[in-house]
């Protein structure tokens, strides 16, 4: 099955990340995710894709946890009742503890949001779109060679052996006889 990568432009795949969408065959069956690298027989690229996809998922989950945890911490800090510390209060009495929690929660929530955005923008593909087109082209050339096809997909024409025609004829006449040899090559 011939593998092709769209050559007419980029197709948005998975959000805002741009990568060409590979497909195979006459009916353009999409090769999504690691299926493209599996079809090419590149186990190294399959492993790299899986590793990058795992990192992307982990980054998104950690970002979500930080966003939710930061939101909870911020809410607790904002809703905390302020302590009233008088002039003669011990040094451990602080009226700004709620504000500290709120600021820490805001920082954690912003960091979590950044991790989520980073995970969304991260491409799991270990190669660029142009490299993917080169890989598909190399695969197709190798496949055509194995199947005995020309570059346009037509069967190879058998080589025509050189033609050598020879004719041998006998001549008989009143003055004698002879052999005549003629050839075309």
Residue 108 lies in a domain: yes
Q: How many CB atoms lie within 10 A of CB 54?
A: 11
Could you tell me if 149 and 169 are in contact, meaning their C-beta atoms sit under 8 angstroms apart? no
CA distance 103 to 78: 9
Q: Tokens 């660029």, residue?
A: 128
Domain holding 71, by residue range, is 3-147
Per-residue b or e along 126-137, where b marks 16 or more CB atoms closer than 10 Å to that residue's CB: bbebeebbebbe
Whether residue 162 lies inside any domain: the answer is no
For residue 126, the model assigns a pLDDT of: 92
Per-residue pLDDT for the chain (185 aa), expressed as one digit of tens each? 556 655 433 444 444 445 567 888 888 888 888 999 999 999 999 999 999 999 999 999 999 999 999 999 999 988 877 666 666 666 666 666 678 889 999 999 999 999 999 999 999 999 988 888 889 888 888 888 888 877 766 666 766 667 777 888 888 878 888 877 787 76
Whether 112 is in a domain gets the answer yes
Would you state the pLDDT for residue 80? Answer: 76
Structure tokens at 163: 């033609």
Q: Say if 152 falls within a structural domain.
A: no
Shortest CA distance to 2 belongs to which of 174, 141, 164? 141
Residue 88, pLDDT score: 67
**Does 97 map to a domain?**
yes
Whether 91 is in a domain gets the answer yes
What are the residues whose beta carbons fall under 8 Å from the beta carbon of 22, sequence distance 6 or more? 3, 4, 5, 6, 30, 31, 36, 132, 136
Q: For 127, which DSSP code? A: S
Domain count, the chain: 1
Q: How far is CA 159 from CA 156, 162, 163, in A?
A: 9, 9, 12
The reply to whether 167 falls in a domain is no
Per-residue pLDDT tens digits for 22-31: 888 888 888 8
Separation of alpha carbons 127 and 137, rounded Å: 14
Is the distance from CB of 118 to CB of 63 less than 8 angstroms?
A: yes
Plot region of 29 (φ>0 → left; ψ -120 to 50 → alpha; else → beta): beta
Give the predicted TM-score (pTM) of the model.
0.65
Interval 158-183: pLDDT, tens: 666 677 778 888 888 788 888 777 87
Residue 180 placed within a domain: no
| Per-residue pLDDT, 42 | 92
């Amino acid at each position: 099955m011939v593998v092709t990568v769209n050559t007419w432009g980029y197709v948005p795949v998975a959000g805002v990340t741009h990568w060409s969408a590979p497909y195979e065959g006459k009916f353009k069956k999409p090769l999504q995710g690691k299926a493209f690298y599996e079809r090419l027989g590149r186990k190294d690229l399959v492993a790299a894709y899986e590793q990058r996809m795992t990192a992307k998922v982990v980054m998104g989950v950690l970002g979500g946890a930080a966003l939710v945890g930061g939101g909870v911490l911020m809410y607790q800090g904002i809703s905390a009742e302020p302590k009233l510390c008088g002039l003669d209060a011990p040094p451990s009495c602080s009226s700004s503890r709620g504000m500290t929690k709120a600021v820490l929660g805001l920082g954690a929530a912003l960091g979590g949001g950044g991790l989520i955005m980073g995970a969304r923008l991260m491409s799991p593909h270990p190669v660029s779109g142009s490299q993917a087109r080169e890989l598909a082209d190399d695969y197709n050339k190798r496949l055509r060679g194995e199947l005995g096809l020309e570059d346009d997909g037509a069967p190879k024409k058998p080589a025509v052996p050189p033609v050598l025609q020879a004719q041998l004829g006998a001549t008989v006449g009143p003055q004698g006889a002879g052999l005549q040899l003629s050839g075309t090559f």
